[in-house]
């Protein structure tokens, strides 16, 4: 039986993150104030030996130090390629370097859309039934109207299982809603004629 491959958890440890943040803040504060960094710091960011004048870091240097501290905590796979000390440049749609308004990118001129051919309006089942009944001399049932609409090419069911029941309900709805102005008249049970 093969072992399942485990995925590496990319979420940083909160305690480690907070410790690195505090260390970075302390280092930046110490370099800006000109005071030596707290004891225990070693490496390139440690305070210089006693007697050496300390100058506060520039804004770029402070941002670089903060980026390096973040990269050591989160790792380059989380932060991306900008963690190596290079300053990311603001792109359009993102806040500017000083936190101002977003920059707008000029829109490229677009070609006018080609006009679409007008759609041919297809008849609804109710309109097609009215045409079929207008041509008919005798009353018809909903099933007969569906068959006649298909043979005349006026309307076909888009795949419904009971198109005649749907047509019957639509005709009854029009008769009750429009009363005397309806296109259909119920002559007998399930039989309709054109009312004009």
Instruction: Please tell me what DSSP assigns to residue 156.
Output: -
Rounded CA-CA distance 43/49 in Å is 13
Q: Given its phi and psi angles, is residue 93 left (phi above 0), alpha (psi -120 to 50 degrees) or beta?
A: left
The Cα–Cα gap between 28 and 20 comes to 12
Most confident of 7-16, 90-99, 160-169: 160-169
Domains and CATH numbers, the chain: 14-84 (no CATH), 125-194 (1.10.10)
Query: Residue 43: pLDDT band by 50, 70, 90 thresholds?
Result: very low
Pick the more confident residue, 102 or 16: 16
pLDDT at residue number 67: 79
Q: What is the pLDDT of residue 188?
A: 94
Residue identified by tokens 């009353």 is: 139
27, 54 Cβ separation under 8 angstroms: no
pLDDT tens digits, one per residue of 74-91: 766 666 655 444 554 444
pLDDT digits (tens, 9 = 90+) for 97-131: 555 566 677 777 777 777 777 777 788 999 999 99
């Amino acid at each position: 039986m093969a072992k399942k491959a485990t995925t590496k958890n990319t979420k940083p440890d909160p305690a480690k993150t907070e410790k690195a943040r505090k260390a970075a803040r302390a280092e930046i504060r110490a370099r800006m104030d000109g005071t030596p960094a707290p004891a225990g710091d070693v490496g390139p960011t440690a305070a210089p030996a006693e007697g050496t004048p300390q100058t506060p870091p520039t804004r770029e240097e402070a941002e670089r130090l903060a980026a390096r501290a973040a990269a050591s905590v989160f790792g380059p796979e989380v932060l991306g390629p900008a963690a190596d000390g290079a300053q990311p440049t603001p792109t359009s749609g993102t806040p500017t370097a000083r936190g101002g308004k977003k920059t707008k990118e000029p829109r490229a001129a677009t070609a006018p859309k080609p006009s679409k051919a007008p759609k041919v309006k297809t008849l609804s089942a109710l309109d097609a039934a009215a045409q079929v009944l207008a041509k008919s001399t005798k009353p018809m049932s909903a099933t007969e109207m569906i068959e006649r609409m298909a043979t005349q090419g006026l309307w076909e069911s888009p795949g419904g299982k009971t198109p005649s029941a749907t047509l019957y309900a639509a005709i009854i709805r029009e008769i009750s809603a429009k009363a005397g102005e309806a296109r259909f008249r119920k002559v007998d049970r399930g039989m309709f004629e054109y009312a004009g």
